[in-house]
């Protein structure tokens, strides 16, 4: 029987008592004076006066409590053909040594450190070492080009940049050193020092006077102890894209982040200390911060650091090999990874090659999960598949089926109910709550629970402008969705993906859900394009499953018909095209906004996180067959 309703009700009715109880489950050097300080609302602060340390809670505490010989981190890299493991004691000692190396370079409490590294153990060590000494880390995804790295250097003004000689992709080696050099050349804020780890796949030539070798710096034998930090001190800055092209630096504090993430491991994800948990993401994204590095280690789990892909390293069985080999109990990944697996192995033949008896739960997030993908995964894996929803800004789930509180029935297309601590509401454009079942703007009533962003880095006014000004008293998620009569919430799309067809507000996500249900479709995107008569009309782009050889015109006709049947003629869905692949960011999100601009012939900026810019040319060519994409007009260098 689920305890969800009682736990959720208490979290909303008595948030201070609820989170004070959760905070007793972590280590404090000094107990807090106030659980929640709203004296500067909306800049609310949790556990004011408390002193703690995130690295201590992630490593030292477990060693002191007898868990030192348990595995803390497993590094699995099919790209480097390496598997390495670290016990809690080994990882603590390595992190203390790295922290000592950072202090020898003059890095101390409050200094910023940019980490621009691939998915290797030293990247995790660098993050935890910063946390250990009170430096503020800002991890920049290793796939970013130099101009985007430069923007983050200019905003964070780091004392140190930590990088590696190279990153690995299937069949190629990516040199990082030239990217770092170019970024520093472009930036006004010049870091004092750059620290490079030399990987065996490529050696980087270091610049005399500025660059230091990782092994040389760490060989001094110094170790650094954990520094007690204020609960409200920043732990890290993580940049997320801004609508103006200038990245927004989401700030995460030490105390609230620690309490919320520790609580979430048992109550949301249903895992216990000692179990193996795997978030198949990248440390450059919030999922990597929260659920590769911090939360599993706070909870005493074994976490997986995977340098590979869901397909092609070497085949669509890559995930099942990792789960089987390392005894993974819960996997958290993006729906796009499963769509890629489903596309290449639609019958699930690779799944049957591995022993998955210890595997218990699959969690999907990062973008909307269409019901077809969820049901495919559920059928092939024979485990619960949990779609849950959250954001870089919140740092942990907003809506989920909280496994640790007793699972509720799964409704494909819904992320179930709000996670305890989040008072989720649905408002119209005038700030009035809409009836259940009606599409609205998704907001969270203030105060936000612990773990969410308290502000943006050096930009309080921007924080208020982007998140708090549209609906006073609420945090704007910029997502659109609805709550059904059972209290389940469905997140349909970003609010800028709601289209207005002849006065009817329609969700492109709902149309994508219909297209994805077609048996020949692996993945899809629906965008709204300007129309002189109706204001906007939807068009669909679909990728076929591997092995489908039917006539494309027949498939397109069927797609148009099922949208008409399930959404209605009001959708005016009359055009779709089949494409080889959809343009995505490296985290797997389809760049719908860019596709829309291509279709309408307006100038656009090639997203800095795009996985392969050539996909935009392919999409342009496909859109032209539908009578769109009159001009190919990227702004700036390709």
How confident is the model over 534-552, as pLDDT tens digits? 778 899 999 999 899 899 9
- Rounded Cα gap, residues 267 and 419, in angstroms: 9
DSSP state for residue 351 in the 8-state scheme = G
**pLDDT at residue 498 above 50?**
yes
- Rounded Cα gap, residues 150 and 186, in angstroms: 6
- Rounded Cα gap, residues 134 and 377, in angstroms: 42
Whether residue 475 is found in the same domain as residue 519: no
Element (H, E) at 117: none
* Residues near 491 by beta carbon (within 8 Å), at least 6 away in sequence: 368, 389, 399, 415, 442, 479, 480, 481, 509
Mean per-residue pLDDT, 461-465: 95
Q: Which of 266, 261, 259 is nearest to 405 (CA)?
A: 266
CA dihedral over 151, 292, 408, 587, signed as positive or negative: positive
Report the DSSP pairing between strands 193-197 and 211-213. Answer: parallel
Looking at residue 470, its pLDDT comes to: 94
Whether residue 13 is found in the same domain as residue 120: yes
- Rounded Cα gap, residues 533 and 272, in angstroms: 57
Query: Last residue of some domain: 481, 496, 523?
Result: 481
**pLDDT at residue 110 above 70?**
yes
Looking at residue 243, its pLDDT comes to: 47
Question: Which tens digits make up the pLDDT trace of 199-258?
Answer: 999 999 999 999 999 999 999 879 999 999 999 999 999 998 654 457 799 999 999 999
DSSP state for residue 433 in the 8-state scheme = B
Mean per-residue pLDDT, 328-348: 92
Whether residue 411 is found in the same domain as residue 446: yes
* Residues near 465 by beta carbon (within 8 Å), at least 6 away in sequence: none
| Residue whose pair of structure tokens reads 């894209």 in the numeric block | 241
Mean per-residue pLDDT, 609-638: 76
Question: Which tens digits make up the pLDDT trace of 188-199?
Answer: 999 999 999 999
Question: Which tens digits make up the pLDDT trace of 81-94?
Answer: 999 999 999 999 99
**pLDDT at residue 465 above 70?**
yes
Which residues in 179-335 belong to E strands, given as ranges? 193-197, 211-213, 229-230, 234-240, 248-253, 276-279, 302-306, 328-333
Q: Which of 297, 267, 294 is nearest to 422 (CA)?
A: 267
Whether residue 468 is found in the same domain as residue 515: no
**Both structure tokens of 537:** 């009309």
The model's confidence at residue 634, banded by pLDDT at 50, 70 and 90, is low
Whether residue 162 is found in the same domain as residue 253: yes
Question: Is the preceding omega at residue 285 within 30 degrees of 0, hence cis?
Answer: no
Report the DSSP pairing between strands 71-77 and 82-87. Answer: antiparallel
- Rounded Cα gap, residues 34 and 11, in angstroms: 17
Looking at residue 244, its pLDDT comes to: 46
| Residue whose pair of structure tokens reads 């190279």 in the numeric block | 166
- Rounded Cα gap, residues 436 and 489, in angstroms: 10
Looking at residue 638, its pLDDT comes to: 43
207 in any annotated domain: yes
Question: Which tens digits make up the pLDDT trace of 273-319?
Answer: 999 999 999 999 899 999 999 999 999 999 999 999 999 999 999 99
Looking at residue 37, its pLDDT comes to: 98
Average pLDDT over the chain, rounded to an integer: 92
* Alpha-carbon 572 to chain mean position: 33
CATH number reported for the structural domain that contains residue 618 in this entry? 3.30.300.30
438 in any annotated domain: yes
Mean per-residue pLDDT, 23-35: 98
Looking at residue 371, its pLDDT comes to: 85
Whether residue 448 is found in the same domain as residue 528: no
**Both structure tokens of 633:** 């007009």
Q: Which of 569, 608, 574 is nearest to 591 (CA)?
A: 608
427 in any annotated domain: yes
Report the DSSP pairing between strands 575-578 and 535-544. Answer: parallel
Looking at residue 373, its pLDDT comes to: 87
Range of the domain at 120: 4-308+388-481
- Rounded Cα gap, residues 28 and 26, in angstroms: 7
Which segments of 214-304 does DSSP mark as H helices, in order? 214-218, 255-267, 286-288, 295-298
Whether residue 281 is found in the same domain as residue 413: yes
**pLDDT at residue 631 above 60?**
no
Question: Which tens digits make up the pLDDT trace of 361-390?
Answer: 999 998 778 788 899 999 999 999 999 999
Question: Is the preceding omega at residue 42 within 30 degrees of 0, hence cis?
Answer: yes
CATH number reported for the structural domain that contains residue 61 in this entry? 3.40.50.12780
Q: Between 534 and 478, where is the model more confident?
A: 478
Looking at residue 434, its pLDDT comes to: 95
- Rounded Cα gap, residues 98 and 120, in angstroms: 14
320 in any annotated domain: no
Query: Last residue of some domain: 446, 465, 481?
Result: 481
237 in any annotated domain: yes
**Both structure tokens of 280:** 């198949």
**pLDDT at residue 622 above 50?**
yes
492 in any annotated domain: no
**Both structure tokens of 128:** 């935890």
Whether residue 150 is found in the same domain as residue 220: yes
**pLDDT at residue 132 above 90?**
yes
Q: Which of 290, 278, 369 is nearest to 320 (CA)?
A: 278
Give the percent of the chain with pLDDT over 90: 76
486 in any annotated domain: no
pTM of structure: 0.85
| Residue whose pair of structure tokens reads 């703690």 in the numeric block | 52
Mean per-residue pLDDT, 548-571: 88
Q: How many domains are contained in the chain?
A: 2
DSSP state for residue 578 in the 8-state scheme = E
Whether residue 237 contacts residue 158, with contact meaning beta carbons closer than 8 Å, is answered with: no
Question: Which tens digits make up the pLDDT trace of 399-442?
Answer: 999 999 999 999 998 999 999 999 999 999 899 999 999 989 99
Element (H, E) at 291: none
- Rounded Cα gap, residues 557 and 569, in angstroms: 14
Whether residue 117 is found in the same domain as residue 73: yes
Whether residue 520 is found in the same domain as residue 393: no
Whether residue 115 is found in the same domain as residue 245: yes
Which contacts qualify for 209-216: CB closer than 8 Å, 24 or more apart? 212/105, 214/122, 214/162
| Residue whose pair of structure tokens reads 């659109």 in the numeric block | 480
Backbone dihedral region of 12: left (phi > 0), alpha (psi from -120 to 50 degrees) or beta?
alpha
Beta bridge partners of 441: 427, 480
DSSP state for residue 549 in the 8-state scheme = -
Whether residue 179 is found in the same domain as residue 225: yes
**pLDDT at residue 1 above 70?**
yes
**pLDDT at residue 636 above 80?**
no
383 in any annotated domain: no
């Amino acid at each position: 029987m689920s305890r969800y309703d009682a736990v959720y009700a208490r979290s909303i009715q008595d948030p201070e008592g609820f989170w004070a109880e959760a905070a007793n489950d972590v280590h404090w050097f000094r107990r807090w004076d106030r659980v929640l300080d709203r004296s500067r609302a909306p800049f609310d602060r949790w556990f004011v006066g408390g002193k703690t340390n995130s690295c201590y809670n992630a490593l030292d505490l477990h060693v002191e409590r007898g868990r030192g010989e348990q595995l803390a981190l497993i590094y699995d890299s099919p790209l480097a053909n390496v598997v390495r493991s670290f016990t809690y004691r080994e990882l603590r000692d390595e992190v203390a040594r790295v922290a000592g190396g950072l202090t020898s370079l003059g890095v101390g409490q409050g200094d910023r450190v940019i980490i621009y590294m691939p998915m290797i153990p030293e990247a995790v060590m660098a993050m935890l070492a910063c946390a250990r000494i009170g430096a503020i880390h800002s991890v920049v995804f290793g796939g970013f080009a130099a101009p985007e790295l430069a923007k983050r250097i200019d905003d964070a003004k780091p004392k140190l940049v930590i990088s590696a000689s190279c990153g690995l992709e299937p069949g190629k080696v990516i040199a990082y050193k030239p990217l770092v050099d170019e970024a520093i050349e472009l930036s006004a804020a010049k870091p004092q020092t750059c620290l490079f780890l030399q990987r065996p796949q490529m050696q980087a030539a270091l610049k005399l006077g500025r660059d230091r070798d990782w092994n040389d710096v760490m060989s001094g034998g110094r170790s650094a102890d954990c520094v007690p930090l204020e609960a409200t001190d920043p732990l890290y800055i993580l940049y997320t894209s801004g609508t103006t092209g200038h990245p927004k630096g989401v700030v995460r504090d030490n105390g609230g982040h620690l309490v919320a993430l520790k609580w979430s491991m048992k109550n949301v994800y249903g895992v216990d200390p000692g179990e193996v948990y795997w978030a198949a993401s990248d440390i450059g994204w919030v999922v990597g911060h929260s659920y590769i590095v911090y939360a599993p280690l706070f909870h005493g789990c074994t976490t997986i650091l995977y340098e590979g892909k869901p397909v092609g390293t070497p085949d669509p069985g890559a995930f099942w090999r990792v789960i089987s080999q390392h005894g993974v109990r819960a996997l958290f990944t993006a729906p796009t990874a499963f769509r890629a697996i489903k596309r290449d192995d639609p019958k699930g033949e690779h799944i049957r090659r591995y022993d998955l008896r210890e595997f218990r739960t699959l969690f999907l997030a990062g973008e909307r999960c269409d019901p077809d993908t969820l049901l495919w995964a559920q059928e092939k894996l024979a485990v619960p598949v949990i779609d849950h929803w959250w954001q870089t800004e919140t740092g942990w789930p907003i809506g989920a089926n909280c496994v640790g509180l007793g699972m509720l029935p799964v409704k494909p297309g819904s992320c179930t109910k709000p996670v305890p601590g989040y008072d989720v509401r649905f408002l119209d454009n005038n700030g009035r709550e809409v009836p259940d079942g009606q599409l609205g703007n998704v907001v969270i009533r203030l105060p936000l629970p612990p773990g969410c962003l308290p502000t943006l880095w050096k930009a309080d006014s921007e924080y208020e402008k982007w998140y708090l000004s549209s609906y006073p008293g609420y945090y704007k998620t910029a997502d659109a969705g609805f709550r059904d009569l059972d209290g389940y919430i469905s997140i349909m799309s970003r609010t800028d993906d709601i289209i207005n067809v002849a006065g009817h507000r329609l969700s492109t996500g709902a149309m994508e859900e219909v297209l994805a249900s077609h048996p020949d479709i692996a993945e899809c995107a629906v965008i709204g394009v300007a129309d002189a008569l109706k204001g906007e009309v939807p068009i669909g782009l679909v990728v076929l499953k591997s092995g489908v050889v039917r006539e494309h015109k027949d498939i397109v006709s069927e797609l148009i018909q099922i949208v008409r049947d399930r959404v209605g003629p009001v959708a005016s869905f009359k055009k779709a095209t089949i494409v080889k692949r959809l343009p995505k960011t490296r985290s797997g999100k389809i760049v719908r906004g860019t596709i829309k601009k291509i279709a309408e012939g307006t100038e656009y900026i090639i997203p800095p996180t795009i996985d392969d810019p050539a996909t935009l040319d392919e999409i342009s060519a496909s859109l032209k067959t539908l009578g769109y994409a009159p001009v190919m007009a990227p702004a700036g260098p390709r």
